[in-house]
Structure formats: structure tokens, C-alpha cells
A and B are shown apart, each in its own frame.
Chain A
Amino acid sequence: MTAFRALARAMLKGFFRDRMAFFFAVIFPLMFLVLFGGIFTNQGVSKAEIIQVGPVAVLDDIPKEAAAYFKDSLEITTSSDEKDALEQVRKGDADAMITQRGDQLVVRYSRADQVKAATVQGTFQAIVQSANIAATGQPPRFSLTTDQVEDDSLESIQYYTPGLMGWAIASGATFGAATNLVVWRKNGLLRRLRLAPIPTRSVVLARVAVSIAIALVQATIFLGVGIALFGLRLTGSWPMIIPLLVCGTLAFMAIGLLAGAVAKSEEAAVGISNFVVLPMAFLSGSFFPLDGAPGYVTAISKVLPLKHLNDGMLDTMVRGEGPSSALVPMAVLLGFAVVVTAIASRLFRWGD
């Protein structure tokens, strides 16, 4: 027990005194959170800019409630020069030009921005439709209500925090275990520890405890910054991320131990860890959602531990699912840890 504590303390001090390791485990992923949070929180979808040439009855007589709705998506300026307006649309200074010829509503738009082109078309379709209905003098028979499925709305920060946090924890645990193993093997400390009257498991357990402690520190900082600066809201069963993080740390440590067992030098250990963690983070949706990704990407992501950690954290901390939604990811992570640790221990060497 004293051996375990002494080793854990030595490893923790070693980590927190290593500015580079601390930077890459905590500050660097946090920079991404700030960056992503900044980009995606303050930016609504920008409005389509419309130039109205001459009087357009449907726009001028629009009912008040409808006007408020259109104001969200359209920004309308008026002009009397049709040619000039068209030129502006062509150059991209405006998204569409609208004018009325008799009962014809004429919309000229540019396909340069397809999203806005679609918005403009859709919006004016709707305007014409409702004007037609109004002209019949009948009250509309159907109405449309829209509502998002997430408890409120899964704002971007809600999505990015678990993903980036997963990435941070994956790199922290992988790099920590890999470099620790290589450095101690190369400087002879592993052999020296082998001669001390302590069981091998106290060395392993100390490393596990330190990695978990570092992961919890990372998570605390991440959640703190997310909540304080970007309005992150945690949902009901968020404490389940703690056991999820523990299982995830074991899985990533196993990857690190494998990298450390294979690598001949510290540089090689860092290289191998990077080579594994970075693609894994992309394929696990840490940086952007995989919803639109092709099938083979989704298939690959299913075997990646980070994907399961991210899913588990998304479900419990922002999607508001119950604690049981964390169980399957935890089981997958533990299974992964067991298999990879078994491989790593076969390749393990005490010294060079």
C-alpha cells in the first residue's frame, strides 16, 4: 500500500511538472473547445438578403405574425433599379431579387450559395401559397407545428463538449501510459523496481490510478469551462460519465501500453500514440458529427473505443438518457481494455 502510494505520487508529480504533457492533455483540447464554442455558439444561420424592386403586394400586405417569421430568415431592402439589383445578386452581394409583374411574383436568385437559394425558394413558395389561401377567403384547414426531439435543443456546445472531452481523455491516457512505459524501460527504472520488494501489480495499479485521476481532472476542467463560458447544460444522469471515464481510461491506457511495448524510443511512442489517437478521434465524431458519414466510416467507428465513450457521454450528459444507457459503452470499453492489455503484456519487456 505504501509502495502503491509512493509510486502514484511520483507519477503524478512527474505528470504535473511536465509542462508539455500537461499542455497536450489539458490546454490543447480546451483550446479546441473554446474555438468550437466560439464559432458555433454565436453564429446563427445568417439571413438571406433580398432586394425588392418596386411594389410587391404579398410582401407589403403580409400579416403581422407571418412578417415576424419571415424576418428571421429574410432581410429585405428596396431598390428601384432592377438591373442594378440583378447585378448585385450575380456578384453575390445579395442572395435574391424579387419583383412583381401583374400577378406573377418573380424571384431571381444565385445558386452560388445553395442553402440560401433553397431558403429563398422555399420561403417565397410559402408566401405565395398563403397569399393564395388568403385570396380564397377560407380559413386554412391544416396547420404545422415543429419541435426538436432533444429535451431543449442540442446546441453545438452540447455536442462538442463530450466529443472533445473524450478526445482529451483518450490522448491523455494513451500518451501517459506509452511514454511512462518507454521512459522507465529505457532508463532502467523498470528493472530497478523489479528488484524492490513490491508486487508488480502495485506498479500497474499506481499507473491506473494516476491515469484515472488525470482523466477526472481533465473532465472537471472541461465541464467547468463548458458550463461557465458556453452555457453547457448537463442532463439528469451526467454523473454516469465518471464510471464511463474510468472504463475509457482503462481502454486508452491499454492502447498506450501496447504502443509503449512496441516502441523503441520515447519519440516512437509519441508517434504511434498520435497515429492511433488522432484518426480515432475523427472517426469517433469527436470533432464533428458522423451522421452524414458513409457506411464504412460508421462501421469502423463501431470498433473504436472512443466512439463508445463519446456515445455514452452524449447519451448521459446531454441527451438526458437514463443511467443504463452508459452500461453498454462501459462493457465495450472494458472488453477492449482486456483484449488490448493481454496483447500488450505479451509484448512487454522489463528492459532493453
Chain B
Amino acid sequence: MGIEIRADGLVMTYGDVRAVDGVTFSVAPGEFFGLLGPNGAGKTTTLEMIEGLRQPMAGTVRVGEHEPWKREPELQRRMGVQLQSSSFFERLTAREQLDTFGALYGVAAGRTDEMLEQVGLVDKAGVRTEDLSGGQKQRLSIACALIHDPEIVFLDEPTAALDPQARRNLWDVLRQINESGRTVILTTHHMDEAEALCDRVAIMDSGRILVLDTPAALVRGLDAPVRISLAPGTLSLDAAREIAGDDPIDDTESSLTITTRDPSRILTALAGRDALAGLSVKGASLEDVFLELTGREYRA
């Protein structure tokens, strides 16, 4: 098992819009890969070229030896796709949707129960998809993508409409899938999700990949200061100044915070004074990397 994905110089334009503008990356077999980027960055379009829904206008994409846009059934059987919008047959129940998709992939009927179980929809099996909640639809859509036990799974914003529990449950499902050796490629707007799940992430904007690395390396690369906070009253402001030296201090009613690039020195000093009540240490996160790279302003 294991197919490599290689995208090289992918380009896709819609009229004047260069939706994808020279994207190059590869995903190793068994890797968990994340595509991040603001709305309209070109994530969905990039995925569509790899899934085989669109032929790149320039560049090449290979999944194993196959070019996906040729839609060869051997390859299609090995890929599972959840599109950004849930697409179901009208007026069928959750169970019937899974049975139908299963039949399209030549899967035995028993898989339906397994999948319902896996995405927590057993008691919704007889409900028509029109009557499912947004999050339930999304879970069903993911189950439909996994019904034939694919080697590569594409998920376009799989957790967009999920409540926190469902999100964590889905993370578990995706981890299991990935741990059994399958490749997972997902797009998401949740940075915590990418940090928690992905081996590597690519951050895109305006059709280009800005950075591509492991989440930890990206955060480290940002070289952002760490925020160390204490409960108010744990440390006098003078004592804090003495410890912090040149590092900025922010004393508010709810906490006292030192922002530093040398957390070990500060933490050692605090421990020496036994002043650790209400301690919290916040490093930079992927979200900071994302905002740093793509800016904070809204855009179309």
C-alpha cells in the first residue's frame, strides 16, 4: 500500500482569476497533509486537480503513476473524496446514501453499519439527509468518502460545521485512518486542527504556497516571544521588573504577563521565588504563523 502524490507547477485560472498559480508539493504515502489559507486562496481548486475533477491548465499532477483527470477506475477506487459541499441523493436516508455510494464502489452492504458507527450516526440511520443537521450531514458526507476504505482520503473542510465534540471525535477517526497507513489530505480554517493532526501543512494565499513545513517548524520559524502569565498578586510589580529585565510587562486586574524570548530564564527565576500561582505559558501557535503570513485584513 502507499501511493505518492506529486503536484508540479499546477495552474488553474477562471477568466482573469488565477485561482491556482504554480503550486508544487508532494505528499508521501501515509502522510497527513494540511492545506491552509484564507477564503479564496485556491485550496479547493488545488484539491480538485489532484482528485481528478479538473485538468490543470499548466503543470502536472501524478497520483502514483496515474494522472487523476483521466479518471481511471483503478485509481478512483483507491481515493475517497469529501467535497466542500455535501452532495447527496435527494430524499434518501443516511443508510440508503451509504448503501448507494457503497454499491458505486462495489462494497459489501455490511460496511454501512460500520461507517454509521464510526461517525456516530447509528440512531440517524433512518433519517433522510434533508432532515439531518449541518454537522450530521457533514459526518455522513465523510462516511460516504470512507465507505470503500480508500488509501488516499481528500477532505475539504471536514470540520467546518461540527460542534466541539463532533470535531474531536472526527479527529480521532481521521487519526485512526492515518495510523492504519492511509494518506489524508485536508483543508481547514482551524489552525488547532492542523497543528493537532497534520504531519506537514502548506499555507496558501492567492493561488500560491507561501510556506510548507511541519507545524512545529513553522511556529519555531516565526521566532515569536512567549507569554508567561501569573495570577494577580503572586508577584509584586517591582519583583516582576527585576526578573523580566528588558522584557515588557503587562499588569492587569486579571493577570500579570511577561512577554519574553527567553522563557527558561524567567521560569527558573519564578520557580526560585516559588511564585508560580496561576501560571500559564503561551507560545506562538500556527495561527500566529498564519496571520503573520496572510495578514489580518479581510479579503474576497
Contacts and interface: CB of A to CB of B under 8 A. Distances in A.
Interface of A: 2-3, 5-7, 9-11, 13-14, 17-18, 183-184, 187-189, 191-198, 350-351
B91 interface: yes
A6 B88 contact: no
A189 B81 contact: no
Interface in B81-139: 81, 83, 85-92, 96, 99-101, 103-106, 128
A13 B53 contact: no
Interface stretch (B69-77, B217-225, B270-278): B69-77
A198 B71 CA distance: 10
Q: Is the interface of A mostly helix, strand, loop or mixed?
A: helix
B81 A10 contact: no
Contacts of A197: 73-74, 76-77, 104-106
A47 to B, nearest CB: 55
A14 B90 contact: yes
A2 B103 contact: yes
B87 A17 contact: no
Interface in B171-217: none
A6 B100 contact: yes
B51 interface: yes
Contacts of B99: 6
Contacts of A198: 73, 104
B175 to A, nearest CB: 24
Interface string B265-283: 0000000000000000000
Contact of A195 (B51, B103, B128): B51
Given A198-B73, A351-B53, 13 more contacts: A10-B96, A10-B100, A14-B90, A14-B92, A187-B87, A188-B85, A192-B81, A192-B87, A195-B52, A196-B101, A196-B104, A197-B105, A350-B53
Q: Which 4 A-B pairs have the closest CB atoms?
A: A6-B103, A197-B73, A188-B87, A197-B76
B11 interface: no
11 contacts: A5-B103, A9-B100, A14-B91, A17-B128, A183-B90, A189-B88, A192-B87, A194-B53, A195-B53, A195-B76, A197-B106
Given A187-B85, A195-B79, A2 B90 contact: no
A198 B105 CA distance: 8
A13 B96 contact: yes
Give the residue among B87, B90, B100 with the most A Cβ atoms within 10 A.
Answer: B90
Contact of A3 (B81, B90, B103, B128): B103
Contacts, number: 72
A3 B86 CA distance: 20
Nearest to B90: A14
Given A5-B103, A10-B89, A10-B92, A196 B83 contact: no
A14 B15 CA distance: 37
Interface of B: 51-53, 71, 73-74, 76-77, 79, 81, 83, 85-92, 96, 99-101, 103-106, 128
Nearest to B72: A197
A196 B81 CA distance: 9
Contacts of A192: 81, 83, 87
A191 B104 contact: no
Contacts of A184: 87
A18 B104 contact: no
B114 to A, nearest CB: 18
B46 to A, nearest CB: 15
A184 B90 CA distance: 9
Contacts of A13: 91-92, 96
A189 B91 CA distance: 13
B91 A18 contact: yes
B49 to A, nearest CB: 13
B83 A191 contact: yes
A352 to B, nearest CB: 10
Nearest to A191: B53
Contacts of A189: 87-89
Contacts of B101: 196
Contacts of B81: 192, 195
B89 A196 contact: no
A193 B104 contact: yes
Contact of A7 (B52, B76, B90, B100): B100
Contacts of B100: 6-7, 9-10
A191 B91 contact: no
Contacts of A14: 89-92
Give the residue among B79, B83, B104 with the most A Cβ atoms within 10 A.
Answer: B104
B91 A196 contact: no
A38 B288 CA distance: 77
A191 B53 CA distance: 7
A66 to B, nearest CB: 67
A189 B90 CA distance: 10
A10 B91 CA distance: 9
B217 to A, nearest CB: 33
A183 B89 CA distance: 9
A6 B104 contact: yes
B53 A3 contact: no
Contacts of B73: 197-198
B66 to A, nearest CB: 12
A126 B136 CA distance: 83
